Structure formats: structure tokens, C-alpha cells
Amino acid sequence: MARLTLECVSKRYGKIEAVRGVSLDVADGEFVVLVGPSGCGKSTLLRMIAGLEEITTGELRIDDVRANEIGAADRGLAMVFQSYALYPHMTIYRNMAFGLENARMPRDEIARRVERAARMLRLEAYLDRRPGALSGGQRQRAAIGRAIVRDPKAFLFDEPLSNLDAELRVAMRKELSALHAELGRTMIYVTHDQVEAMTLASRIVVLQSGRIEQVGTPLELYNHPANVFVAGFIGSPRMNILETRIAARSESRFTLGLGETAVVIDGQPPSSNEAIQLGVRPEHVRVVAPGAGDFNASVEHCEHLGAHTLIHATVNGRPITALQEGQASARRGERVGLLLRREALHFFGADGEALTGWRGRTR
Amino acid sequence: MIRKLIFARRNGLRWHWTDIVSYAYLVLGVVLMFGPVVWLALSSFKSESGLIEFPPAIFPTSQVEVRVAGFEKPLPLYRVTRPDGSNAVLAQVRRIGIEATMVDPKNPAAVERVPLEAREPVREFTLAWDNYTEPLKQFHFLSYFWNSVFVTAAATLITLVINSMAAYALAIYEFRGRGVVMALVLGTLMIPITVLLVPVYLAVSKLGLVNSLWGVILPGAATPTGVFLLRQYMLTLPRDLIEAARMDRASEWKIYARIVIPLSLPALAVLAIFSVMWRWNEFLWPLVVLNKSEVYTLPVGLSAFQGELQVRWNYVLAMTMVTLLPVTVVFAFLQRFIATGIANTGMK
Amino acid sequence: MIGTRRRAGEWAEDAIGWFSDRLIEPWIAAIQRRIGAGRMPWFFLAPNLCFFALFVFVPLAINVYFSVTGGPRLEPAERPFVGTEHYAALFDCKSYFDPSSCRIDRFWASVRNTLIFVLMQVGFMVLVSLATALVLNGRIVMRGFFRAVFFFPVLLSPVVVALVWKWILQRDGLLNAVVVSLGGERVPFLADSSWAMFWTIFVSIWAHMGFYTLVILAGLQAIPNDLYEAAEMDGTSRMRVLTRITLPLLWPNLIVVIVLALIKGVQTFDEIFVLTGGGPGTATFLIVQFIYETGFGNQVQNFGLAAAASILLGVMLVVMTAIQLRLTRGRPA
């Protein structure tokens, strides 16, 4: 059972600062996902928690005890590596037992734990095999099993699903969720895949360039992105971001200029200067007859996904994507009208931060 | 079938004159490379008298001797052509001048006088195993052999252990001073023992190891090539494995002995083979350190033996065979392995 | 084969593991707790570095000391300082082209012989190795077998190599039998100066060419096959393929081989010591043999002179190795 606290943690390699002053509180039993593009410092952060990297400045506390100086082996954490890191020359049983043997645990206790974990992960039949003789998913489960047998305070996962194919990834996601529910342990999970983050996390931490951009539950991040980066990173297909300026404003409505067209929006105008960025998710853009929407656009191409259709269009040269339910059809070059769902609009300042003062959206 | 094999060629294209030259070259190569050793092997089974024959016979043969009733000693057999043109196989009793007194082995009573040029010795294929057994019994060759075995085994073991430890430290850890150590190891690569004969001899004599096999073993035990070979291999092991082991509470030694060494066995095997070759064949340094014949290794013993005034070639040849045989057997089994090892590392 | 290798590996692994866990690990884990994991790399380096220190670095310094001190004693404290006398003696020559005009004529004879030997040996050996590698890389059947044939002598002890050839080249040997059967007179192959030098070079090429063949062959096989296929599509002749594709691409590899062969060639001792003993006279007397006989020969032992000569040899080797390392960019030899 563990509560992890990071206080202003930084990591510097020479002149390069990989992690910059990250503060985070992970409650006991929470499933926290660190997500961000590659090179954002999420793996470094995880490895600092694990004890595989030294913390340059700042403090890591595990259950309110300073852990900076405690060795990786003694923090009571278990890690599942991206490459699984199963010892190729040992059987699956020995792989799981190795850490327990090193802790000088009695043999029958080791056997009991390994068998329990194997049952949980449906690996009983493979305990005598070597990792090389296992499929990707089985290896993944064996790696998780190695973490489980140690009965750690918290689990650390470093992109554990990225070496699996798409179908297996979906299945493993479900298993991981079930595992978290069953074990009830704190889990910290690193991924670059926002779908994984959304589906697994009780809380998501979005990182960019070694800094936390936003922390929140998946829906908080989806509904209230704190800045353009989070808005673009969370949600698929990506949110449309349109550069606009406020052309006119009054107490209860304002007009956004979008090239030659303008969009009139009811509600209090954001407290900002003129140049703002308008964010709207593709699922909140409706395709209507030309002239019936907020503005007209010309269709570039269509992606048919079966249940949905993605329509890529341009408005005065700016790209915009609309997601339509069902199997809509539109030809290239066709003029259509686009209608933006008012309560789902996001406004960001020129600096990319979400603008306060806009309260148009209602639940 | 054989035709097919002989004329089989890669790609099965037309013959080109370069192909014929190639095969001629290869056949010449086989003769030149294997011939001398085969000749040594054949010669090593010849009796002492067979060795001084000129021109030498190709196969080890010796004259057949038979026991004839009425004679104490066995008599040599000759094929005789009588003046009337008939042939017979007779045993020689004695030789007087240009004639020999001979008897028919089946009929000892019938004595004949035969001119020397009318008889031809009857030879048969015999292997003079004495060449092998005598020097092992009479001289120190058996102890030379065991000395060589001991030096090779002990030196290889020490080399594997200390080189793999050093390679592990240089491959797995990032620590201050690693660059300096690497440079030092690189430096020792440039300084073979040929350059340090005198001072290393001093070091060995200070340790009281002159005329001791340990004096041969220890100076060459830390090989820079071995450290490099193993380090290069260990660098290819996934870092995750080491970190996983560290998370598994393995001590640093345990990571070395239980994770890195088992995974480096292929490289260790290559180094072991090289070390065995080096040590079994080593000559100059043992020659310097070992001055008493009881402690000679095979090459030193062989060299000393062949340098004596009266060279006993039959023994020298047989003992040469004993020296080259283990290497040849190893080679026959591990040829492909050794060849790729050398091709990959470029070391010998 | 794979099965047995795997089993052998497992056996070794289990043996090492058992031995390590029971007998060694507890002690070393205790050391680790004592000195901390951060200092463990030094623990692992210690044995190897001790050996290096004892048998390379300290001797290196002592070598210099020996070369500037005289007398027959091995004990360093009992050796009087003589300055550069040994070096001066080695270089005391009326003409460097005439060894007999030098104070230490055997040294200059050995230098001259080594130069001749190394240049001839390396030159011919690289040519022969290159030819062999090209043939082996061609379209031939049983490539593995033929490669093994040329490689076989590499594994033999130099003493064995020398004895094999001594037996063939002696007065009543196989070669003279062939000469006589062809109607010639017996030739004193090892007793005639020129012949002796020829045969030492020949034998050392015979013994070592397999190694260089293998290295060159590896270089040849690293040349991408599509280059040859492209040349074939263009209808390029074999000669042109050789001179325009193979040799230019092989050139860097070949330079490394040449330097490596020079380094090894300068240190030649064993084969020649047994084959000719440096003779007849000083006809095949090389530098390493000079060092060996000066320091450890049967006559008066002059450690100082031997040390001075070996330092000169060492400087030469360091220069050549530096060139080689530069060429291979840090790859070990």
C-alpha cells in the first residue's frame, strides 16, 4: 500500500534538463498514467521513481518517507519494462522466482506465490518454458507476473504494451484494468498512446518537455484541456484548432473572424485580447447543407471508418475535420456547411493557455 | 552422382577460365597446407632405420622377419630372383661379401647362396608405436604433456574469470574513471610480452615463480583482447535486463554471475578457445621462465629435444604429432566456430 | 547440434550458478554492503588491473630503468647507473648499412634481417591471402572445407610448424628427394644463407596466411551483393568487377591487414628459432631473438642491453599499433 509524492523533482543530464520541477501526489490504489510525446521525460520520471535514475533535485517520498537515497531494490516497487526484460536463459518460473530468491524467501513460499500469480495470469502451462518459447502476450503476462509475486507497494509500467499488436493491446488493456481492480495496488503507467491513457487511468498526467501540462481524470482532460497541447494530445481524432480574432463583441455575444467568414457566438466573450485560438473537436462539428451552417467549407477527402465518417475540409485555406455518425458521403471539392456545437467550444489565448471567462458550455 | 558433385557449381552458370584456375589453386592449396603435416604423420610411424633411408619411402614400412626352425634369431625375408629367372621368398641367414646365405623358411635344410643384387627386401606396413611410447617413458615428455595441459587449463580459467569481471565493469557501469581504465586496457594492447621480457622476468623472479608453471600462467592471464571481446559482447545485452535484476534485489555479483555471464557464454566460449590455442602453443615466454626440464611445456621440451647434438628424429616427429593432435581435434570439431570468431573479432 | 550446444550451455550455467550462489555470492554481497554499489565496478576491475599493473605497467617502468643501468645482476638495487650507454652502444655504427662495422654487429644484423623478413613476408603474404580470399569468395563448392584447409596451420604451435618444415627441408628430407628424383643435386636448404631466409619467409607465410585470408574474406563478404548483381546486369567483365568494385571497397580492410601483419611480423621469433636458430651464421637472426639471447642466452646475460633493444622495438610497435587503431577507429585488434 503506497502513497507516492514527488516534490519539485528534476533530472539534468549535463546541460539538458529532461524533467523540470515535477510535483505530483499519487494516492494509494490509484492508477496514474504518465502520457506525452516521446522525449517528454515520462520514462525518466518513472525510472527516477523506480530508483534506476538518480534524482538531480527535488524529493521523492514513498509513504511520506524520503526515498531519494534508497536503492532500486529496496523501495518495494516493481517495474514492468517495455522490452519485458525477462531473463532469456531462465524458465518463466525461475524468472518470477529470481527476485524472491534474492530476498532469501523460503522455497515453499516462493512456489506458493509464483503459482498464485501464474494462475491469475493463466501462465500455469508455461512455467517450465523459456521466454523465447512464448508469444508476445504471454511474455507480457510473465513480466507482469514477475512484478506481482514480489507483492510490491506499487507497480511501475514503462510502455508495457507498445511491443504488442493492436488486437493484443486491446485485450491486455482489459486485463490490466481487471488486475488493478483485483490487486488494488498503486500503479504508475507510462505510455505515449493517449487511448491507453484514457482507457486505463484513474488520473492522467500529461507531460511535455519535462514539465507537467495538466493532471486530471480522463474526462476532465477531455472536457477541460488546460492548454492547446493537452487539447491536441488527448482525444482522437485530434481537436481542430483554428486561429481567429475577435471581430466584434458585446455583453452577451461576440463575433470571431475566420478569414472572410465570421462566426457569431452567444455568451460572454473570453476575457482576452483579439487573437485567440478556437478549439473544437471533430465530433462537435456537424456537416449541414451549404449556407445552413456557421460557414461553408470545401471537402478535401473522406475517411470511411464504417461506424463514423471523417470529413476533411478547408475553410478559407484552413483545414478542419468533422466526424459524422454513420456513413456519410461527400465528394472532393463539394461545398458543405459546417455547424459548430456552441457548448463544446474551447478558447485558448495566443500563449496556448485556456481562456477563462468563457462559460458557454453546459453539462 | 559423383559427376554431379564434382561439376556442381554455384549458380550453375557456364564454366569460365577463372573457375578452372580457382580449382587448380585450391587443389594446390590442399596439397601445400595438409601435405607437410600428413608427411610428418606418416614419418612419425617409421622406425629409426626407416627414417634415414634416402629417398624416403612414403608409407612407414619395415622388412618382414620370420622365425625359422633351427635359428635363434628371427631372420629377414627377401624376394629372390634366381639365375634361371624363377622367383622365391627366402630368409637370409648371413651375408658374406657380395653374397648372402639364405634358406627357404618352409624348408630350413635347403641353403642357397644368392648375390646381393638379386634379392629385394620384403616390406610390410608397420607402425612404429615405439616412437610414441618410448619418449613418454624414457624422457620427460609425459610430464611435458601434463605441464602443458595444466598451464592451458589454469591459464584459460583465470583469464576467463578476471577478463569477464573487468569486461562486466566496463560494459555495465557508468563510473568516473571508466575512460581512463579503457585507455589503459587499450594501451596494454600495444605492449606485447616480447617487449617486456626482462622486467616481467624480474617480476616473476621476485614472486619466486621462475621454473614454476605459475610463472608461465600469470603474466599473460589478463589479456586486453579478452576484455575487449567480452565487453563488446556485453554491450549488446539489453540494459533493461540489468535494471530488472537490480529491481529484483540481485547484488552486483549476482547480476554478473547469474545474468551477464550466462548470457555471454558464446563470447566466453570464443575467448576460451583462443586462450587454449594461445597457451597450448606458447613458446617464447615459457622458454624464458622455465630452465629445468621437469617443468618444460611441450613446445619448450620439443624445441630442447630437437636442439640436442644427436637429434632423435623418430622421437621428435612422434612428439610433434602429440603436440599438434589436440589442436587438430579441436579444430576439426570447432572449425566453423573458430573461423567466424576470428572473422568477427579479427584477433588471433 | 543446437540441442547439444544448448545442453552444454545449460550445464555450464548451472555449475557456475551453483558455485557462485553457495560459495562466492555471500562474501561479495558483504563487500558490496561495505563499500557500496557505486564502488563495485572497481571491485570487478581489481583483479585484471592488478595483473596489468604487475606484468605490464610496472615492468614498463622497470624496463626503462634496466636500459639505463648496467652490470649482470637482475636485482635492480645492485645495478649501477650507466645512462644512455646501452643505446649508444646499439647505435654505435660506422655505417648503418653494414652490420659488421657496428659495435654490436648482431643487433644491426638482426635489424637488417627483420626489415628484409618483414617486408618480404608481409608483401607476399598479403598478396597470397588476397588471392586465396578472392578464390574462396568466388563461385566454388565446398567453400567451408577449403577455407578450413588454408586456416589449419594457423592453429599449430610455431614449434610444430618449424619442426614439420625442418623435417621436409633437411638434407635427406622429402624436398631433396624430389630434387634428386628430378635429376638435381641435393640443396642445403637450411644451411645456405639465401635459401634459409627464403624458407623462413615461406614457412611463416604458410603458417599465418590462413588468418589474414579469413580477415580479408570477412571484408569481401561485407561488400553488398547487389553491387555485383548490378555489375552483372551491366555486363561488366570479371576483371573490371575486381578492379573497379572489389578492390576499391576492400582497400580499407586491406590496409588494416597490412598493418596488423607488420606488427606481428616484427615480433616473429618462435618458428625461426626452432627452424634455423637464426642461422646459418646470422642469416635469419631477428630482433626478438637478439633480445632473447642478450637477456637470457647461454653466454653472459646483459639485461640492460636487452631492455634497451626491447624499448626500441616497443616504440616501433606503439607507432604501428597507433596507426592501426586509428585505421580501425578503436576496434580492438
Best of B236, B239, B247 to disrupt the A interface (most A CBs within 10 Å) is B247
Residue C150 to residue B9, Cβ atoms within 8 A: no
The grid coordinates listed for A86 are 525477462
pLDDT, mean of residues B322-329: 86
Instruction: List the 139-178 stretch of C: residues with Cβ below 8 A of B.
Output: 139-141, 144, 146-160, 163-168, 172-174, 176-177
Minimum-distance CB partner of B247 among A78, A84, A87: A78
The grid coordinates listed for A73 are 531494490
Which chain C residues contact residue B257 at CB under 8 A?
Answer: 16-17, 20-21, 24-25
Which chain A residues contact residue B251 at CB under 8 A?
Answer: 102
Give the pLDDT score at C329.
61
DSSP-derived 3-state class of residue B110: strand
For residue B246, the chain C residue with the least C-alpha distance is C37
Q: What percent of chain C has pLDDT over 90?
A: 17
pLDDT tens readout for residues B187-202: 887 788 888 888 899 8
Which chain C residues contact residue B330 at CB under 8 A?
Answer: 155
Q: Is residue C280 reached through a cis peptide bond, with omega within 30 degrees of 0 on the bond before it?
A: yes
Minimum-distance CB partner of B262 among A71, A81, A89: A89
Residue B261 to residue C267, Cβ atoms within 8 A: no
* Of C143, C136, C330, C155, nearest in space to C216 by CA: C136
Q: In this model, does residue B3 exceed pLDDT 80? A: no
Crossing angle for the helix pair B265-281 and B141-172, to the nearest 10 degrees:
140
Q: pLDDT tier at B154 (50, 70, 90 boundaries)?
A: very high
Give the pLDDT score at A357.
55
Neighbour tally for B153: CB within 10 Å: 14
Give the pLDDT score at B20.
85
Length of chain C: 333
Which chain C residues contact residue B289 at CB under 8 A?
Answer: none
Q: pLDDT tier at C3 (50, 70, 90 boundaries)?
A: very low
Q: What would you report as the CA-atom Rg of chain B, rounded to the nearest whole angstrom?
A: 30
CA distance A341 to A285: 6
Determine contact: B243 vs chain A, CB below 8 A: yes
- To the nearest whole Å, the CA of B286 is away from the closest chain C CA by 11
- To the nearest whole Å, the CA of C6 is away from the closest chain B CA by 11
Which chain A residues contact residue B246 at CB under 8 A?
Answer: 52, 71-73
Determine contact: B176 vs chain A, CB below 8 A: no
For residue B250, the chain A residue with the least C-alpha distance is A102
Q: Across chain B, what does the average pLDDT equal?
A: 83
Residue B241 to residue A85, Cβ atoms within 8 A: yes
Distance of CA B258 to the CA centre of its chain: 35
Report which of residues B97 and B250 the model is more confident about: B250
Residue B302 to residue C163, Cβ atoms within 8 A: yes
Best of C127, C146, C164, C259 to disrupt the B interface (most B CBs within 10 Å) is C164
For residue A53, the chain B residue with the least C-alpha distance is B243
- To the nearest whole Å, the CA of A79 is away from the closest chain B CA by 7
Residue B247 to residue A79, Cβ atoms within 8 A: yes
Determine contact: B268 vs chain A, CB below 8 A: no
pLDDT, mean of residues B289-318: 85
Q: What percent of chain B has pLDDT over 70?
A: 92
Q: In this model, does residue B6 exceed pLDDT 80? A: no
Q: What is the pTM of this model?
A: 0.81
Which chain B residues contact residue C29 at CB under 8 A?
Answer: 251, 253-254
Q: What is the ipTM of this complex?
A: 0.83
Whether B302 and B139 have beta carbons less than 8 Å apart is answered as no
* Touching chains, B (3+ CB pairs < 8 A): A, C
The grid coordinates listed for B116 are 646381393
For residue B265, the chain A residue with the least C-alpha distance is A89
Count residue pairs from B and C with Cβ separation < 8 A: 335
pLDDT, mean of residues B44-53: 77
pLDDT, mean of residues C246-273: 87
Best of B15, B195, B210, B233 to disrupt the C interface (most C CBs within 10 Å) is B195
For residue B15, the chain C residue with the least C-alpha distance is C139
Q: In this model, does residue C332 exceed pLDDT 60? A: no
pLDDT tens readout for residues C140-177: 888 888 888 888 888 888 889 999 999 889 888 888 88
* Of C155, C153, C151, nearest in space to C218 by CA: C151
Q: pLDDT truncated to tens, each residue of chain A (363 aa)? A: 688 999 999 999 888 889 998 999 999 999 999 999 988 889 999 999 998 888 999 999 999 999 888 888 888 889 998 888 899 888 899 999 998 988 888 999 999 999 999 998 889 999 999 998 998 889 989 999 999 998 888 999 999 888 888 888 888 899 899 999 988 899 999 999 888 999 999 999 999 999 999 999 999 999 899 899 999 899 888 999 988 888 887 777 888 887 777 788 877 777 666 678 889 999 999 888 888 888 888 898 888 888 889 999 988 888 899 998 888 878 888 888 888 888 888 888 888 888 765 554 433
Residue A52 to residue B247, Cβ atoms within 8 A: yes
Best of A77, A100, A101 to disrupt the B interface (most B CBs within 10 Å) is A101
Give the pLDDT score at B104.
80
Determine contact: C183 vs chain B, CB below 8 A: no
Q: Which residue has cell 516493481?
A: A78
- To the nearest whole Å, the CA of C97 is away from the closest chain B CA by 25
pLDDT, mean of residues C124-134: 93
Which chain B residues contact residue A72 at CB under 8 A?
Answer: 243, 246-247
pLDDT, mean of residues B120-134: 77
CA distance C17 to C36: 23
Which chain C residues contact residue B222 at CB under 8 A?
Answer: 47-49, 51-52, 55
pLDDT, mean of residues B3-10: 48
Residue A87 to residue B245, Cβ atoms within 8 A: yes
Determine contact: C292 vs chain B, CB below 8 A: yes
Whether B68 and B110 have beta carbons less than 8 Å apart is answered as no
Determine contact: C267 vs chain B, CB below 8 A: yes
Determine contact: B175 vs chain A, CB below 8 A: no
Whether C287 and C309 have beta carbons less than 8 Å apart is answered as yes
For residue B13, the chain C residue with the least C-alpha distance is C139
Alpha helices by DSSP H, chain B: 2-7, 17-43, 48-51, 130-138, 141-172, 178-189, 197-206, 213-217, 224-235, 239-247, 252-254, 261-263, 265-281, 284-289, 298-306, 313-345
Q: pLDDT tier at C131 (50, 70, 90 boundaries)?
A: very high
Give the pLDDT score at C122.
94
Which chain A residues contact residue B263 at CB under 8 A?
Answer: 88-89
* Touching chains, A (3+ CB pairs < 8 A): B
Give the pLDDT score at A96.
92
Length of chain B: 348
Flag the least confident range among B144-148, B178-182, B202-206, B339-343.
Answer: B339-343
For residue A75, the chain B residue with the least C-alpha distance is B247
Give the pLDDT score at A360.
47
Residue B238 to residue A85, Cβ atoms within 8 A: yes
Give the pLDDT score at B5.
47
Which H or E run includes B88?
Answer: strand B87-96
pLDDT, mean of residues B175-197: 85
pLDDT, mean of residues C221-232: 83
* Of B83, B103, B105, B107, nearest in space to B93 by CA: B103
Flag the least confident range among C49-63, C82-96, C308-322.
Answer: C82-96
Residue A346's Cβ-count burial label (10 Å; 0-12, 13-18, 19+) is: buried
Determine contact: C185 vs chain B, CB below 8 A: no
CA distance B200 to B216: 11
Q: Within 13 A of C237's CA, how many CA atoms are on the CB side?
A: 5
